[in-house]
Amino acid sequence: MEAVLDQFDAVLKAFGYTALLFAVSGVFSVLLGTLLVSMRVGPIAVLNRAAAVYITVVRNTPLVMIFMFFQLGAGKVWNLLNFQWVDIHIGTLDFTSFFTAAVVSLSLYTACFVAEALRSGVNAVPLGQAEAARAIGLPFSGVMSQVVLPQAFRASVPPLASTLIALLKNTSVAAAFGVLEAAAQMKIFTNNHADQRWGIFIAFALGYIILVEVVSLFATLLERRWRIA
């Protein structure tokens, strides 16, 4: 435990990377997931199939393989995809090609789960709601924006929260691919301080638990706030 306390700023920085990975890929995966789900439930059969195939393939691929592709493979196929053009420094934090590759992998992977979570939300809206909306003469846009989507959005908060918590835990995969986030920092500590392994593990586990609890508390609050009746 002393090792953790002595170098507490290193620990904080590591968890900072974890939180940033989570935030940036969270935004991108929600955006991509929304695109996927609108293709998935939309009326165009081709886009429907394409989204379904993408979701099936990616959600059955281990995240490590996706990371491996964007770390070792993609740059060899197309120069732009080696992400060497990303080189941003804010304060003491560096956002390099490793960070970008991690964000891309996490976003592409998480997007399918986001899409499935949103789709389960759409499916949770009772059939009668859409029928009633149609019966009172709302056009498609009205049915969607006034009746179906508001309910679907509420219903998809819990599965979406689970997905985001999984994303938070999955950021640790970046440890194996050159991002010095919490899991990587823990590996370094564990390697250097053989006598304090239990303490180090407990400390880092607590860090993750705190982050997870923050996300889940936030989700619970939102769910309560938006619950109808």
Partner 1 sequence: MPAAVLFDAPGPATVARHRIYTFVGIAAIAGLIAFAFYRLWASGQMTYEKWEPFFTPRYIEAILVDGLLITLQMAFLAIIGAVVFGVIFGVGKLSDHAWLRWPCWLVVEFFRAVPVILLMIFCFYAIFGDFEPLNTRTYWSVVLALTLYNGAVLAEVFRAGVNAVPKGQAEAAYAIGMRKTQVMTLVLLPQAVKIMIPAIISQCVVALKDTALGYVIAGVGLTRMARQIFPTFQNHVATIIVIASLYILVNLLLTWLANWVQRKYVGEKKVLEVSMVGEHGTTTGAPFDSR
Q: Closer to partner 1 at the Cβ: 28 or 181?
A: 181
The token pair at 175 is 């440890």
32-36: Cβ within 8 A, 24+ apart? 32/107, 32/108, 32/111, 32/114, 33/110, 33/111, 33/112, 33/113, 33/114, 33/115, 33/117, 33/118, 34/114, 34/115, 34/118, 36/111, 36/112, 36/114, 36/115
CA distance 133 to 137: 7
Put residue 83 in one of left, alpha, beta given phi > 0 → left and psi -120 to 50 → alpha. Answer: left
Rg (CA), the chain: 21
User: Which residue of 19, 35, 47, 52 would you call a contact of partner 1, by CB under 8 A?
Assistant: 47
CA distance 81 to 71: 9
User: Which residue of 65, 93, 146, 226 would you call a contact of partner 1, by CB under 8 A?
Assistant: 65
If binding is defined by CB under 8 A, does position 91 make contact with partner 1?
A: no
If binding is defined by CB under 8 A, does position 161 make contact with partner 1?
A: yes
If binding is defined by CB under 8 A, does position 69 make contact with partner 1?
A: yes
CA distance 212 to 101: 23
Report 125-144 residues binding partner 1 (CB under 8 A).
125, 127, 130-131, 134, 140, 143-144
Q: Closer to partner 1 at the Cβ: 64 or 88?
A: 64
If binding is defined by CB under 8 A, does position 52 make contact with partner 1?
A: no
CA distance 167 to 161: 10
If binding is defined by CB under 8 A, does position 35 make contact with partner 1?
A: no
Q: Closer to partner 1 at the Cβ: 27 or 44?
A: 44
Residue with tokens 């400390």: 203
If binding is defined by CB under 8 A, does position 172 make contact with partner 1?
A: yes
If binding is defined by CB under 8 A, does position 204 make contact with partner 1?
A: yes
Q: Closer to partner 1 at the Cβ: 91 or 137?
A: 137
Q: Closer to partner 1 at the Cβ: 91 or 126?
A: 126
Residues that bind partner 1 (CB under 8 A): 41-47, 50, 56-57, 60-66, 68-69, 72-73, 76-78, 122-123, 125, 127, 130-131, 134, 140, 143-144, 148, 158, 161-162, 165, 169-173, 175-176, 183, 186-187, 190-191, 194, 197-198, 201, 204-205, 208-209, 212-213, 215-217, 219-220
